[in-house]
């Protein structure tokens, strides 16, 4: 026979799943997606002992999740390398007519021809400029977790 604690725990598990699903929908709808790391970082954990739920973005998967959710004050420069990687992923500077392509992730062992090196330098300059702009300007919060929790709770009322 199920106890009251078991019933509440089952409801919390269902609510936790709903929160994860809603957070992913909000991320997709708000186009806060480059790699899908933020989507994969959304986690919930149900604690049966004290009948509570923990909702979080796993920092090991998406270390920038906190800044997306909470925003960021001006004054500190974000890492250029992550922005550079994002720009290459989105192919912001790649021109399909030129046929020059770069791997998304570059390292010191990557062999590049002269045109690729030039394109890589342009991506680095672009990322540096974006980082400098982010340093000077505040980034507004996009509270996708709070919105997902609120949406899920409304579904259960």
Helix (H, G, I), strand (E, B) or coil at 149: helix
How far apart are alpha carbons 123 and 27 in whole angstroms? 26
> Do 127 and 87 meet the contact criterion of CB atoms below 8 Å apart?
yes
SS3 call for 52: strand
- Are 64 and 103 members of one domain? no
Cβ(56)–Cβ(43) below 8 Å: yes
What the block records as the tokens of 153 is: 């709770």
Predicted model pTM:
0.75
Phi and psi at residue 119, to the nearest 5°: -65, -40
Residues 62 and 78 in one domain: no
Q: What is the pLDDT along the chain (157 residues), one digit of tens a residue?
A: 778 888 999 999 999 999 999 999 999 998 887 778 999 999 999 999 999 999 999 999 988 899 899 998 889 888 898 888 888 888 888 765 567 777 777 777 778 888 888 888 999 999 999 999 999 998 899 999 999 999 999 998 7
Residues 14 and 62 placed together within one structural domain of the fold: yes
49, 17: one domain:
yes
Same domain, 88 and 55: no
Q: How many domains, in total, are found in the chain? A: 2
**Domain extent for 115:** 74-136
């Amino acid at each position: 026979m199920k106890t009251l604690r078991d019933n509440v725990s089952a409801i919390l598990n269902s609510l936790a799943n709903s929160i994860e699903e809603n957070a992913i929908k909000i991320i997709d709808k708000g186009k806060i997606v480059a790699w899908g790391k933020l989507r994969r970082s959304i986690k919930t954990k149900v604690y049966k002992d004290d009948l509570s739920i923990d909702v979080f973005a796993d920092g090991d998967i998406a270390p920038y999740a906190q800044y997306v959710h909470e925003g960021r004050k001006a004054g500190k420069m974000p890492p250029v390398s992550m922005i550079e990687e994002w720009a290459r992923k989105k192919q912001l500077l790649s021109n399909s007519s030129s046929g020059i392509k770069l791997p998304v992730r570059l390292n010191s062992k990557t062999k590049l021809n002269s045109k690729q090196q030039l394109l890589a330098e342009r991506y680095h300059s672009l990322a540096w400029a974006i980082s400098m702009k982010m340093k000077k300007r505040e980034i507004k919060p996009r509270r996708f977790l709070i919105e997902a929790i609120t949406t899920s709770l409304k579904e259960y009322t």
